[in-house]
A and B are shown apart, each in its own frame.
Chain A
């Protein structure tokens, strides 16, 4: 997913930089043109049909503005405190209340298991059969457990998100640790590393960090998909709003919330991409 490789060519000559800059300008122009065409086609397609079938871009923008500004109260779960926000921010906060715990707990557990199984052949042998059977099960299929154990609420939705984040991070960390060359570990051993923990901390994790970072980044995106799916069952949040508004024939509001997900994803992915390129400056 390296879209913008031109920005990190620091060593280029001035001529190169100019070329890069003009290339970027051209790309921006093309992007703007493409977006404009998209909006026009959408507008033309939507004009003859009623809003509840297909809202126009303008109607969506209006709905977005209304949702963004209409005051609403957010009840902080577990704390019972109330905060005055706007409708959109309340829904977003609700979603984040299961997105963030699910992503962090599931992701951290996935990374930990991935490293453990990637490192220990014995553990790998013991757990692989179970892992093979469980992994193909889509996170949403666990909704039954989420409902009976936790209910259709933040915890239930966080549970589903956590399962999704777990597998993505598990698999990437596992592959990364498995891919650490034997020779790299041998070099470390020859330089005095003689216990597993030091080897994992100083050699295996840094060497596997590109794969681990890929897992985190993938799960940041995938977890939003799972959030929306989990909310279709009734947990509060952005995903629930998409369905709820559509059932009230307010498709402009639905689409506005679809864009909320897109925007939040782009922001979080952009931030993480920066973190990633910082952490992995050493990568070829």
Chain B
């Protein structure tokens, strides 16, 4: 990484020339090649692509869980070099701590900070209220449904007040009905907190429902094929012609 390098363009998150190569038994495998895009402050951006297009790899690089082979991801003008609480992460398999109650899951990230217990608990309760889980503070993850687990995941990620929310197919394991409700709730939370959201999915319907913009990754190695602005007012209705047009456009783009 060039020491004097600077964020090339404006944006909350700038993904700048990301390559990722994995070593494997049969030689190096390219997962991502020259991925570039930017996300504005407060924007809701979905990353979409067929499986194998490197969505999750890109998510892990932005999360700081994986190093890029080339290129830099910038957050507020600073290069990302590891995981951190400036990015709240929500995972498909929830990643809850099964030995902790809902409340203690949400306070986890706050415990690493200089906060007294009272302030921690208050903050955690606010987040639990925000995701609609009040009354379940003392339940263990095993007692919750998939949708409730993911609400805990969101509350926990938001508790540390991150700059952005990074979500990797967070609703991939819940049923369609719950998914729809979680979409509405997520949009409510988004407008209540003004967070920047980067949301990985393979579901075009989900992308059109949620996103301001959709980054389409295609190919192997994956690269940005197209960035689609979704210019629909919220709440969006699946039965709109325009909704269906966007869905078709994304579907075509993925293939």
A residues with CB within 8 A of B: 183-184, 186-194, 198, 202-203, 206-207, 209, 281-284
Contact = CB atoms under 8 A, between A and B. Distances in A.
Chain B at the A interface: SS class: loop
Interface string B91-102: 101010111110
A193 B112 contact: yes
Contacts of A206: 97, 99-100
List of 5 A-B pairs having minimum Cβ-Cβ separation, nearest first: A191-B109, A187-B95, A192-B112, A189-B83, A206-B99
B113 A192 contact: yes
Contact of B109 (A184, A192, A209, A281): A192
B113 A183 contact: no
Given A184-B95, A186-B83, A191-B108, A282 B63 contact: no
Interface in B80-133: 82-85, 87-89, 91, 93, 95, 97-101, 108-109, 111-113
A203 B160 CA distance: 18
Contacts of A184: 95, 97
14 contacts: A183-B95, A184-B95, A188-B108, A190-B63, A190-B84, A190-B157, A192-B112, A192-B113, A194-B82, A203-B97, A206-B100, A282-B99, A282-B141, A283-B98
Contacts, number: 65
A191 B91 CA distance: 13
Contacts of B142: 282-284
Nearest to A284: B142
Given A282-B140, A283-B142, A284-B142, A191 B112 contact: yes
B168 to A, nearest CB: 11
Contacts of A190: 63-65, 83-85, 87-89, 157
B156 interface: yes
B98 A282 contact: yes
A202 B64 CA distance: 21
B33 to A, nearest CB: 25
A207 B160 contact: no
A192 to B, nearest CB: 4
Contacts of A284: 98, 142
B100 A282 contact: yes
A192 B109 CA distance: 6
A281 B89 CA distance: 27
Contacts of B87: 190
A202 B105 CA distance: 11
Given A187-B89, A190-B88, 6 more contacts: A184-B95, A186-B83, A190-B65, A191-B160, A192-B113, A193-B112
B85 A192 contact: yes
Nearest to A187: B95
B70 to A, nearest CB: 23
Interface string B145-167: 00000000000110010000000
A207 B100 CA distance: 10
B60 to A, nearest CB: 9
Contacts of B82: 189, 194
B128 to A, nearest CB: 16
Of listed A202, A282, A283, residue having the most chain B CB within 10 A:
A282
A193 B109 CA distance: 8
B91 A183 contact: yes
Contacts of A191: 85, 108-109, 112, 156, 160
Contacts of B156: 191
A213 to B, nearest CB: 12
Of listed A188, A192, A207, residue having the most chain B CB within 10 A:
A192
B165 to A, nearest CB: 11
Of listed B83, B85, B87, B89, residue having the most chain A CB within 10 A:
B83
A207 B111 CA distance: 18
A190 B84 CA distance: 5
A194 B83 CA distance: 9
Contacts of B85: 190-192
A107 to B, nearest CB: 21
Contacts of B112: 191-193, 198
A186 B65 contact: yes
A206 B99 CA distance: 7
Contacts of A193: 112
A186 B108 CA distance: 13
Contacts of A188: 97, 108
A203 B109 CA distance: 12
